[in-house]
Amino acid sequence: MQPRIDPGWSAVLGDEFEQPHMRDLRAFLVAELEAGRGFYPPAAEVFRALELTPFEDVRVVVLGQDPYHGRGQAMGLCFSVREGVRIPPSLQNIFKELTDDVGVTSPPSGDLTPWATRGVLLLNAVLTVSPGKAGSHAGRGWEQFTDRAVRELSEGREGVVFLLWGRYAQQKGEIVDRARHHVLTAAHPSPYSAASGFFGCRHFSRTNDLLEADGRPPIDWRLP
């Protein structure tokens, strides 16, 4: 599986793709394909977050856990689903907070590609999943890879806003240098926890306030 990522990411990740955990992971994914089991998202979209959001353009990071495991949902960006796919409950709650916070009308599509192309890195901790089996590729090596990506941002950039929704993202975000970056935390947008601190967090407007205070352009949160 040849990674399709931005050259800036290739430069900072260096030899990460040749580390033992990544070689083992690649062999596992190839075996899943050859056995007919497959995985989500499609191989060409596994690294889409690092393809659409160049390293030097990252202004905001949203950390997710692993891809959607339903057929046709996962597209390589955390929380995002393809055009025409029913919007999952967590994303519905994200859109509700978006509307309440900055007045953006809830879009008919759950495709967050416009955010990715505007500097919002939508990165899952685990980049693949078996069909119908949530969390099935955890512990296979993806966590080390995405930790490296987060660490490179933390050490190589300044003033990035990290949005850590839920305990899992907050634990992963512990490696972020708080002296160099902005970190906003809230409950996960899942229906089970959104009312416990995600609704009302105002992370979209707070993100733009932080970026503008640093003299950087705000994020255009509008979606088609």
Q: Give the residue numbers marked as catalytic.
A: 66
Tokens of 43: 């191989």
In this structure, what are the phi and psi dihedrals at residue 3, rounded to the nearest 5 degrees? -70, 135
**Backbone angle region of 121, left / alpha / beta, with phi > 0 → left and psi within -120 to 50 → alpha:** beta
Long-range contact set of residues 204-210: C-beta below 8 Å, sequence gap at least 24 = 204/97, 204/98, 204/101, 204/102, 204/104, 205/101, 205/102, 207/60, 207/161, 207/163, 207/182, 208/102, 210/159, 210/161, 210/182
Q: What contacts 156, CB < 8 A, 6 or more positions away?
A: 12, 55
Q: Distance between alpha carbon 54 and the CA centroid of its chain, in Å?
A: 13
Q: Which of 11, 2, 21 lies closest to 143 in space, CA to CA?
A: 21
